[in-house]
Amino acid sequence: MKNRGLLIVFSGPAGTGKGTVCKEFLKHNSDSVLSVSATTRAPRPGETDGKEYFFVSEKEFKKMINEDGFLEYASFCGNYYGTPKYKVEEKLEAGLNVILEIEVQGAMQIKQKVPGAVFVFIAPPSKEILRERIEGRGTETQEIIDKRMKIAENELKQIKNYDYVIVNDEVEKAVKSFEDIKNAERCKVLRNMNFIQEVCK
């Protein structure tokens, strides 16, 4: 019998290279897929329904909320974003690991709903380096930089609610750690009860 896939929640402040690590990880791990969120915002040019997002109406989104159809959801700038439960479930059932690249708030919702989920936080090597990365992004004003740092600092305080922390000082090493965590979690005794029952018969 095939083991269920892992639900891996992957969070970290903007500027920690979360997106890059995730993309590189998926390139080399065909046993894992990225969860696609549903959103009520309009598709941008070049975006395809079901690829970047599932584009749904606000009415549909609210119906799904009422039917407990989301693992987590939130609204930003007047639009809803959420992780559709059944889409994740069908992949896990097929034995695939599903990566949710989501914000800390969303992650804490998952923690309540999915007992076996794995929580991975990606952190900058230091606060100074995070500031450099946020400043280095472009020509943002000091005000915006300070605001982003404040948000990042609040997110960093949530590391303690995660299972693992990956320090991203080198993308390649961070990707390797992510892979190690995924592989190790699949060796957990509690995730191999079918095999254990079989070999103990």
**Positions that interact with its own copies (CB under 8 A):** 121, 123-124, 126-127, 153, 156-157, 159-160, 162-167, 176-177, 179-181, 183-185, 187-189, 192, 195-196, 198-201
Nearer to its own copies, 73 or 155 (CB): 155
Q: How many CB atoms lie within 10 A of CB 55?
A: 16
Q: How many CB atoms lie within 10 A of CB 86?
A: 10
What do you get for the CA distance between the two ends of the chain, in Å? Answer: 15
Cβ atoms 150, 106 nearer than 8 A:
no
From 63, 8, 68, 71, select the one nearest 40 (Cα to Cα). Answer: 63
Q: How many CB atoms lie within 10 A of CB 170?
A: 11
Region of residue 78 (left: phi > 0; alpha: psi -120 to 50; beta: else): left
Distance in Å, CB of 175 to its own copies, minimum: 12
Distance in Å, CB of 106 to its own copies, minimum: 18
Distance in Å, CB of 153 to its own copies, minimum: 8
Nearer to its own copies, 132 or 153 (CB): 153
Nearer to its own copies, 56 or 102 (CB): 102
Distance in Å, CB of 200 to its own copies, minimum: 5
Nearer to its own copies, 64 or 122 (CB): 122
